[in-house]
Structure 1
Amino acid sequence: MTTPILGLQNAGLTLAGNAGPVNILRAITLNVQRGESLGLIGPSGSGKSSLLMIMGGLEQATSGRVMALGHDLTAMDEDQLARFRRDNMGVVFQSFHLIPTMTALENVALPLELGGVQDAFGRASAELNAVGLGARMDHYPSQMSGGEQQRVALARAAAPRPAILLADEPTGNLDGKNGEAIMDLLFGLRDRHDATLIMVTHAPELAARCSRIIRLKDGEIDGEGLEAAA
């Protein structure tokens, strides 16, 4: 039997609230196979983004276990998790999270430099060309449209050639035309780097492009497929 690239075993997330503990995720058990594209859907507050965060070690599960590429993320401290993400994961957020004082090229090259990659700027340049920004490399985020900034964020996520791509509402801040273009690029990057893609989205038409869809409701898995997603 093939070992999942990412697996959750009874993973839960409970956070402290003003009125006491709040259960964000409850006993999530889920396996993701290498090469899959997985869409996470559900109403607001269902736990989609929180699930993505614990999958990427951006938030520590408070119960259960999260395994990625054979490593137990729940046993790592923050520094270990940061190094693991740097070497194995690319993350794309709804908000682009670009460094405003750096050019597009510098934004993409920075994580490569931190990872000790040879020719970081050469690889960053290639990724920006791949997302159609060859002529915008020396521009700062404030000089770019929202669609262009998200393209930079995609290039930054893909440049380390991660095994796992995580995307949290990657088209949420974009209009329909730009959103569709970003999705084409995201799936293209996944194919080019042979990565596993896990994506949170509110849009059924975007989720439908994934090879598998998981529905969430009230912090629990509510089934698979688009049915009953409303």
Structure 2
Amino acid sequence: MPDTAIALEDVTLTLMGNTGPVEILHGISLDVARGETIGLIGPSGSGKSSLLMVMGGLETATSGRVSVLGQDVTRLDEDRLARLRRDHMGVVFQSFNLIPTMTALENVATPLELAGHRDAFDRAAAELESVGLGARSGHYPAQLSGGEQQRVALARASAPRPDILLADEPTGNLDGPNGAAIMDLLFGLRDRHGATLVLVTHSNTLAERCDRVVRLRDGRVDDARMRAAE
């Protein structure tokens, strides 16, 4: 495996809006080392979530090059991109994105089954235990609180032991105590699995828990040098 988990070279992103093309990202170059934790911060509309989506191959860069674990994702078709995400990435969104007709255990086990793991349900149960939801594994999302649903989403993202965790405002829909608990769990999962973590957040306090803070403004890297306080 390469020492660099994610590499972006002069990446741009232009999307179609109601009044025509909108330039979202402007020539971003950024390297994220394996095992590093990056906090992406900046005002609303600065391009944080779009940059995360490009890193995960969920949005296609208009120009430039995006490499993930040595693979140029700008050259991969949808099937190969899906396999790369399945085998190497975990993604946590602000909205929990759980399947409402599946139990917590089934939500966590499904991506493991799709990846061909024969012990999918055993691993899913262990991951739910690790986020404090062992006793709630048979409950459906509608029977869980927002904080519990986000714990299920974290368990689902981390169960495949991904090399990279991408988190987009994972505490945005939660109150203060639940948000703090989710962040503790997220950083704990990073430490336990040794994953590279890229975190989009509006919170400077959360960003300072990362190894490096990358500040975006108007779709450009404004500052990538600020280090977390010791």
Q: Give the TM-score category using the shorter length.
A: over 0.9
Map of 1:69 onto structure 2: 69
The answer on 1:162 being equivalent to 2:133 is no
CA distance in 2: counterparts of 1:156 and 1:226, whole angstroms: 31
Deviation at 1:122, TM superposition (A): 0.2
CA contact (8 A) 2:147 2:182 kept: yes
CA distance in 2: counterparts of 1:189 and 1:130, whole angstroms: 9
CA distance in 2: counterparts of 1:5 and 1:204, whole angstroms: 24
The answer on 1:192 being equivalent to 2:225 is no
The answer on 1:59 being equivalent to 2:93 is no
Segments of 4+ moved more than 2 angstroms = 17-20, 224-227
CA distance in 2: counterparts of 1:183 and 1:17, whole angstroms: 33
Map of 1:36 onto structure 2: 36
CA distance in 1: counterparts of 2:3 and 2:62, whole angstroms: 24
CA distance in 1: counterparts of 2:60 and 2:138, whole angstroms: 37
Deviation at 1:150, TM superposition (A): 0.2
Deviation at 1:78, TM superposition (A): 1.6
Task: State percent identity of aligned pairs.
Answer: 71
Map of 1:106 onto structure 2: 106
CA distance in 2: counterparts of 1:225 and 1:202, whole angstroms: 18
CA contact (8 A) 2:34 2:196 kept: yes
1:13-52 alignment, distance < 5 Å = 13-52=13-52
Moved more, 94-103 or 70-79: 70-79
CA contact (8 A) 1:204 1:226 kept: no
Map of 1:144 onto structure 2: 144
CA deviations on 1:162-197 (whole Å, 9 max, x unpaired) are 000000000000001000000000000011111000
CA deviations on 1:80-126 (whole Å, 9 max, x unpaired) are 11111000000000000000000000000000000001210000000
CA distance in 2: counterparts of 1:61 and 1:77, whole angstroms: 13
CA distance in 2: counterparts of 1:32 and 1:64, whole angstroms: 16
Deviation at 1:4, TM superposition (A): 1.2
Amino acid at match of 2:18: N
CA distance in 2: counterparts of 1:37 and 1:226, whole angstroms: 13
Deviation at 1:70, TM superposition (A): 0.5
CA contact (8 A) 1:167 1:200 kept: yes
Number of residue pairs matched by the alignment: 226
TM-score (norm 2): 0.96
SS at match of 1:184: helix
Gaps of 5+ in 2: none
CA distance in 1: counterparts of 2:199 and 2:225, whole angstroms: 14
CA distance in 2: counterparts of 1:11 and 1:121, whole angstroms: 39
Deviation at 1:225, TM superposition (A): 5.8
